[in-house]
Chains A and B, each alone.
Chain A
Amino acid sequence: MPDWKKEVASRLAGLKVDPVREAEICEELAQHFEDRYQELLRGGATHEEAYQATQAEWGQGGKLMDELRRVEHMVKREPVAWGAQMGRNLIAGLTYDVRNAFRSLVRARWFAVGAALTFALGIGVNVAVFSSVDRTLFRALPYEHPDEIFLMGEYESGTDRTYGTMPALYVIESRHLSGVVDGCVAGFTAASYTESREPGEETRIRLTDVSFNTLTVFGIRPFMGRDFTKEDAQANRKEALISYDLWRGRFNGAPDIIGRILWASGKPCEIVGVLPAEFIPASSFLEPMSDGLALDSDTLESAPPGSLSYRPFLRLKAGVSSAAVEAEINSRAEHLKQMQPAPRPGAAKLVIRLVPLRTILFGSYASYLWLIVAAAALVLVVACANLASLLLVRGRSREHQAAVRVALGASASRLMRTAVVESLMLSFVGTLIGLLALVWASKGLQVLIPPVFSRYAAPVYDARVIGFSILAATLSALLAGILPCLRLAKVDVLSALQHVAGRGRAGRLRGGRSLLAAEAAVSVVLVAGAMMTARSLIGLVSTDVGFKPEALYSVRVLLPSVQDAQTRYQQYSQVLEVVRNLHGVQLAGAADVSPISGARGNRFGAGFDGAYRWQVTSGFFETMGMRLIAGRTFSSADLARPGNVGTLSEMGLHLVWPGLQPAEAVGRMLEFPGEAPRQVIGIVSDVRATYSQTPWPSLYVPISPERFGFLMFVARAQTGAALSVSELRNRVRERIAAPTSASIRYVPDQFSSGLLDQKFRTLLFSTFGIVALLLAAVGLYAVGSFEVAMRRFEMGLRMSLGATPGNLQLLVIREALGPVVVGVSIGLICTYWAAKFLQSFLYKVDARDPVLYVFVALVLVATATLAAWLPARRAAKTDPIVALREL
C-alpha cells in the first residue's frame, strides 16, 4: 500500500508556506490520491495498475507547485507556527505572538483583568509621582544653562544657617568680577500690589522686586510684552512682569494686559510683560506664591553700605567653577570687612557661599520628594512581585502546553518571547488604565496635594510623563515576566507531557516563595511607613499649642505710614478699640509682632540667641487663651510703666533661670546689659505658630509708646459669630479718616493648612501600605490555591493515612506563612536601617519603636494567615477517594 502522504510531502517540499498550512494541503491531497487509488482497486485494477493510474493524476507535477505557490502567496503568510523557530519576518512573527497572547488572555479573562489592574495601580502611582516631581528633581530648570546660575548668600561658617540677604557692598564687588561672572541680579523682598488704587478686599498680587537685568541673567524672554530696561530703572519707573498663571487666572488671559496698572501704597506700577509659562521665579524660595517680578530702581551703587536687603544671583562664565568664584569673593569680602570702620556684629564668622539654583528652589523639599519617589517605587516592586507570582502560577498550569510546543520544535527563546509578549500586553493595558484613571482623578487630587507638588506638576499628556509611562510599563513587564519566562524555558518536556496538572505532581511552585517573601518584605516597609506617618499626624494634632485657637482671629490693619511714634501709637490704639467693639468680638488684644504669625519678635535681651521679646497690649493673654502658670498678667498699672515689668514663657524661664520653679521666679528681677532691671510678674504657657514648631523662649513686655512701630491684633469671637472685614475697614476709616487696608484670618485655618503636608504624607503612605498589603494577600492566595490544587493527591493520601481536616489546614497555613515570616524579618531589618532617614519626617514618633515593629509584623502575619486560610479550607475538604482515583 503506497504512502501517499509521504509522496505528496516530498513533492510539495519547497512550497514555502506556513508548516501548518502545508500539513493541511498535504493531508487533503493524500486523501484524494488514496480515494482514487481505492476506487481503481474496487474497479478491478491491480495494485500496480491502480498506482500507475493514480500517479498519472499528478499531470505535470510542476504545474501543481506553480498553481499552489500562486494561490498560497496571494496573501503573504509568515511561516510561524507554534512549534516553528522564529521566522525571517520578525513583524509577522510578532503579530502572531500578539494575537496568540490576546487569545489566551481572553480565555483567562479574570486573570488578565486582575493582572492589568495590578499593573494599573503600580504604574499609575509611579506616573502620578513622576509627573509631580519631574520638574523639581529631574528636569532641567527652565533657564538657559541653569547650572551656571547661583545664589550668593552669607552663611555662618561651618553651618547651614543663613540670613538670606547680603550687604550691597558684596553685590557690587561681585558685579566687578567680570572675568568669571557673566551677570548679576539683585533680588530683593516681595511687596503686595492691588488692581485698584483704593485697597480693597481683593486678593493681593505679590511681586518680587528685582534688578532690571534679571531675565538677561536667567536667559529667558517674556512670553508677551517686553523686558525691563536699564533706562527705566535709572528713571525710577515702576514696572511689572507678571507670571503666566496670574495672567491666565486673575486676568483671564486678557490680550490688553500690557499697560495695565497695579497699585502699591497709592503708587502706580505698569505691567510691561508676561513671563513664560514654564518660568519658575527664582524668587520663589523667598516668596513661594510670588506672582511675578517688579522692577526695582537701580539703587545698588547708591545704597548705604550697611543696607542688607540684597539676594544676588550670579551667572558664572561657562567653565568657571563655583568654588573658585566663592574663594575670590570671600577674599575680597575679607578685604572689605577690614576697611569698614564699624563691622556688623557677628560678621567675622560669616562666609559667602554660592548655592546652585536647584538647591535654592527645591533643596529643602528634595529629601521629602525622594522619600515619596522611593515609596512609589516600592509599590511598583510589590506589584511586579505579585504579577510575577501570578504569571508563575499561570505558566506552571500551562506547562503541558509549553511542553507540546517544545516537542513540536519551538526553541526556548520562542517560548520566552510568547511569555514576554503576554506580560507586555498586560502591562501596557494596565498603564493605559492607570493613565486614564489619573486624568479622571487629577482634579480631585489637586485638592489633596501640597503646593510643592501641584505647582510644579506636569500634566499626564506631557511628553516626558508619557515617555516615563512607556518605560515603566516595559520595565515592569520585563521584571514581572522574567522569572516565569526562565521557568518556562526550563520546562521538562517528558515529565510535563506524561503528567496532567493535578495528578500527583510535586506541587511546590519554585520561585513563587521567594517572590512572596519579597512582597512581604516590601509591604512591611510600606505599612511601617504608613503607621509612622499616621502616628506622627495624630501626635501633631494633639500637640498643645499653648493657647486656644478656636474662635480666634488674627486681624491686620495697615495705616498710612506716619513718622511720629506717638501719633502711630495713638492711631493703632484707636484701631484696637475699633476691633474690641466689632460685632461679635468678645475679647481683643494686640502685639507688636504676633507670636502666632510665624515671624520672629525682637531681641530677647543681650546674650540670649534664639529667644524673642514681644510687646503686648492689655487683654492679649486673655484673648489668646494662654495659660497663666504663676503670678499674674499685666494690670493697667503695669501698662503705665512698660519698662519695669515682664512676663516670661515657660521656656523663657528655663533659659534665664534654669531649674527654677515658676512660682519662685515671680517677683525676681530680670537684668540685661544696657536696660533698666525688669520685674517678672508672671509665667505663661509657651505658644506655637504651627503644630510642628518648637516654641521660642519668650519674654512679654507691655507695649511702649516711645519705641512703637506697629500692632498685630488678635480677636476672640463670641460663640457662633464671624468677623466682617468690611465692617472693620469702614469703622477704622470713620475713626482715623485715612485709607486703610485690613485683613482677617481665622487662626484654626492657619493650623490646618500647616497640616496639609502631614495629612498628604499620611494619606499617601496609608494608601501605599494598604495597596501593598492587598497585593501581597492576593499573591499569597493565588500561590496557595495553586499549590493546594497541585497537591490534591498528596492531601488525599495524607487523609487516607489518618490526617484530619484540621491537620491539613494547619499544614497549608504553616507552609504559606514560612516565606511571609522570612519576608517580614527582612522587611523589619530594612525599616530599621531606613529609620534614620524616616525620622526626619516624623513628629514625636520614634522610627525604631519596637512596639510599632511588633504591631506591623502582626498585621502582616494576620493578613497572610487570612489569605492562606481560604486555600487551606479547600485542602481540608479534599475527598481522599476522589483524589486518589485521579492517579
Chain B
Amino acid sequence: MNTTIFDRELKKGSAELMILSLIEGRPRHGYEISKLIEQRSRGTVRFYVASLYPLLYRLEKRGWIKGRWVEKAGQRRRRYYRLTVEGRVVLAAQRRGWKAFVDAINRITGIEHA
C-alpha cells in the first residue's frame, strides 16, 4: 500500500477526534487549532485551509461545535469554536472507539512484530 494514501486515510479518520479534543478545554479559533495540531504532532500531521475549514463548518452544521465571532481589545475579531453538549457526547464516544481501535491494531501489529 502506498504510504501517502495510508497517511491520508489515517488523518481523515482521526481529524474529527483531533479537532473536538482540542476545543474541549476552551474555545479556539481556526488558525490556533491548525497550529496546535502541527505542534502537538511535532509536524507529523498538518491541516491546511482546504481541509480544516470545511471540516469545521461540517462539525458546526452537525451541531457538535459552535462558532462565534469574538472581538478582543487591540485585535481583529476572530471566530472561536466551542464544543456543544452534543459534541461532548460525540467526543466521548469517538475517544472510546479510537482507543479500542488503537489497542486492537497494537495487539495485531505487536504480535506480528514479536
Query: Contact residues of A with B, CB < 8 Å?
Result: 24-25, 27-29, 31-33, 35-36, 57-61, 63-64, 67-68, 70-72, 74-75
Contacts and interface: CB of A to CB of B under 8 A. Distances in A.
Interface in B1-34: 29-31, 34
Contacts of A61: 50
Which 3 A-B pairs give the minimum distances between C-beta atoms?
A67-B54, A64-B50, A35-B31
Contacts of B48: 57-59
Given A28-B53, A29-B49, A64-B50, 12 more contacts: A31-B31, A31-B78, A31-B79, A57-B48, A58-B50, A63-B51, A64-B53, A64-B54, A67-B51, A67-B53, A68-B57, A71-B58
B50 A67 contact: yes
Interface in B60-106: 61, 76, 78-79
A32 B76 CA distance: 12
Contacts of A75: 61
A33 B31 CA distance: 9
B76 A31 contact: yes
Contacts of A35: 31
A59 B58 CA distance: 19
B68 to A, nearest CB: 11
B57 A59 contact: no
A32 B51 CA distance: 13
Nearest to B51: A67
Contacts of B34: 32
Residue from the set A25, A28, A63 with the largest chain B CB neighbour count within 10 Å: A28
**Interface centre among A24, A27, A67, A75, by most B CB within 10 Å?**
A67
Nearest to A62: B50
A71 B67 CA distance: 15
B49 to A, nearest CB: 5
Contacts of A27: 79
B85 to A, nearest CB: 21
Contact of B50 (A25, A60, A72): A60
Contacts of B30: 28, 31-32
B46 to A, nearest CB: 10
19 contacts: A24-B79, A29-B49, A31-B29, A31-B31, A31-B79, A32-B49, A36-B31, A58-B49, A59-B50, A59-B51, A64-B49, A64-B50, A64-B53, A67-B51, A67-B54, A70-B54, A71-B54, A72-B57, A75-B61
Contact of A29 (B53, B58, B61): B53
A27 B57 CA distance: 14
A75 B76 CA distance: 30
Contact of B54 (A31, A33, A57, A68): A68
Contact of A59 (B31, B49, B61): B49
B61 A63 contact: no
B50 A28 contact: no
A32 B31 contact: yes
Nearest to B57: A71
Contacts of B57: 25, 68, 71-72
Nearest to A68: B54
B53 A57 contact: no
Contact of A68 (B29, B53, B78, B79): B53
A27 B29 CA distance: 13
Contacts of A28: 30, 53, 78-79
Contacts of A33: 49
Contacts of B31: 31-32, 35-36
B65 to A, nearest CB: 13
Contact of B49 (A57, A71, A72, A74): A57
Contacts of A60: 50
A74 B61 contact: yes
A856 B34 CA distance: 79
A66 to B, nearest CB: 9
A32 B56 CA distance: 13
A25 B30 CA distance: 11
A828 B57 CA distance: 67
A28 B56 CA distance: 11
B51 to A, nearest CB: 7
A467 B30 CA distance: 55
A12 B83 CA distance: 27
B106 to A, nearest CB: 32
Contacts of B76: 31
A149 B41 CA distance: 96
A67 B57 CA distance: 10
Nearest to A69: B54
A24 to B, nearest CB: 8
Nearest to B31: A35
Nearest to A34: B76
Contacts of B79: 24, 27-28, 31
A63 B78 CA distance: 24
A83 to B, nearest CB: 19
Contacts of A63: 50-51
A59 B52 CA distance: 12
Contacts of A58: 48-50
Contacts of A74: 58, 61
Contacts of B53: 25, 28-29, 32, 64, 67-68
| Most-contacted residue by chain B among A57, A58, A61, A74 (CB, 10 A) | A57
Nearest to A67: B54
A27 B53 CA distance: 12
A67 B34 CA distance: 17
B50 A71 contact: no
A61 B30 CA distance: 18
Considering residues B29, B30, B31, B76, which has the most beta carbons from chain A within 10 angstroms of its beta carbon?
B31
Contacts of A72: 57
Contacts of A24: 79
B20 to A, nearest CB: 17
B113 to A, nearest CB: 35
Contacts of A67: 50-51, 53-54
B43 to A, nearest CB: 14
Contacts of B61: 71, 74-75
**Which one of B54, B76, B79 has the greatest number of beta carbons of chain A within 10 Å?**
B54
A25 B69 CA distance: 12
A287 B40 CA distance: 99
Task: Among B30, B51, B57, B79, find the residue whose CB has the most chain A CB atoms closer than 10 A.
Answer: B57
A60 B54 CA distance: 14
Residue among A68, A71, A74 with the highest chain B CB neighbour number at 10 A: A71
A32 B78 CA distance: 9
Centre residue among B29, B50, B53, B79 by max chain A CB count within 10 A: B50
A35 B79 CA distance: 13
A31 B29 CA distance: 10
B27 to A, nearest CB: 14
B24 to A, nearest CB: 21
A36 B57 CA distance: 20
B64 to A, nearest CB: 13
A63 B45 CA distance: 19
Contacts of A68: 53-54, 57
B70 to A, nearest CB: 12
B21 to A, nearest CB: 20
Residue among B30, B31, B49, B76 facing the most chain A CB atoms (10 A cut-off): B49
A32 B29 CA distance: 9
A33 B49 CA distance: 9
A32 B30 CA distance: 7
A36 B34 CA distance: 10
Contacts of B51: 59, 63, 67
Interface centre among A32, A33, A36 (most CB of B within 10 A): A32
Contacts of A25: 53, 57
A29 B78 CA distance: 10
